[in-house]
Amino acid sequence: MEEGIKITKPTNDTKSEQLANGIMICVGSYNDFGPIGRNALSEQFSEQLENVHNVNFYDSPDILKKKNFLGEQLRWTISTVDNFNKFSEKLLDCTALVVVGKDKTTGENISFISHQNPFEILNDKIGRKFNIDLKKRLTEIKERCKAGSISATIVAGKYPKKNMASPFATVEEMRKDYLDSIELISNEIELTLELKPTIFNGPKFVRNYDNIYFDNEKMRLYLMRPEVNFNIESFSISDIDKEKKKWDKD
């Protein structure tokens, strides 16, 4: 694990990008990462190892409490702020947030990851609880990190095509949930950390899930997707209208 995740083949199906303050994001299709790309992350990077957190969206309240995570089962999960590597699996409609910075005392990287369902965090009553939890973690990492060292990125999520309606929501509703949720998260980050998070590689346009793994020491985020969006560069929420016009053409 010290060497990080291996991309199994250097093909045109992968792309990487360096973000502000040092985060390197590597995105590829499942096959580019071998078995862990689709279904073996939790097997290879078990929490039985001493320095790995599984940011599990499906954990029960008792498990979340035991791990000192914040969240509500099947709504959102936010890890602790520490120097552990972190991963989260099966982000279908859900988005993930990764925030990392340099600890004032130790000089090492510390980070947290969140995994949240857009529909749930936009609910008036439930969303207020999410905002409290998110602000708590953002405030903690701000207080613990050197000024100017923090970086944040939002990944995953789904922006369904016109033929992808579900029994529970229309395509328009699901699209709006994605857009409104990344705006909500971006605004809270900008308010608390005074920086604009990067939205990397945009949402999915297919029915499947993303997996992510964050190598804390190397500040490297691996995004494993059913398809890589080669026509989408990093953008901030202020550019969302321009990006959305491209997506709506499909």
What tokens appear for 223 in the block? 């995004």
Q: Give the relative orientation of helices 124-144 and 171-193 as an angle to the nearest 10 degrees.
A: 30
- Residue positions counted in the chain: 250
Range of the domain at 90: 23-247
The residue among 42, 27, 166, 190 whose CA lies nearest residue 93 is 166
For residue range 143-161, list pLDDT tens digits in order: 999 999 999 999 999 999 9
Any domain includes 152? yes
For residue range 48-104, list pLDDT tens digits in order: 667 999 999 999 999 999 999 999 999 999 999 999 999 999 999 999 999 999 999
What tokens appear for 67 in the block? 């791990």
Query: Which DSSP category does 167 fall into?
Result: S
> Mean pLDDT throughout 15-23?
74
Any domain includes 18? no
CATH classification of the domain holding 55: 3.30.1330.200
Lowest-pLDDT range, 13-22, 171-180, 211-220?
13-22
pTM of the entire structure? 0.94
Any domain includes 11? no
Q: Rounded CA gap, 42 and 39, in Å?
A: 8
Q: Rounded CA gap, 137 and 107, in Å?
A: 19
Q: Rounded CA gap, 201 and 204, in Å?
A: 9
Question: Are 242 and 179 a contacting pair, CB within 8 Å?
Answer: no
Any domain includes 132? yes
Predicted pLDDT of residue 10? 45
For residue range 100-152, list pLDDT tens digits in order: 999 999 999 999 999 999 999 999 999 999 999 999 999 999 999 999 999 99
Residue 17, H or E segment? strand 15-18
Any domain includes 230? yes
Domain total of the chain: 1
Any domain includes 30? yes
What tokens appear for 173 in the block? 């509703």
CA angle 131, 103, 210 (to 5 degrees): 50
What Å distances lie between residue 46 and 30, 55, 56, 221, CA to CA?
Answer: 19, 11, 12, 18
Any domain includes 5? no
Predicted pLDDT of residue 250? 61
Any domain includes 236? yes
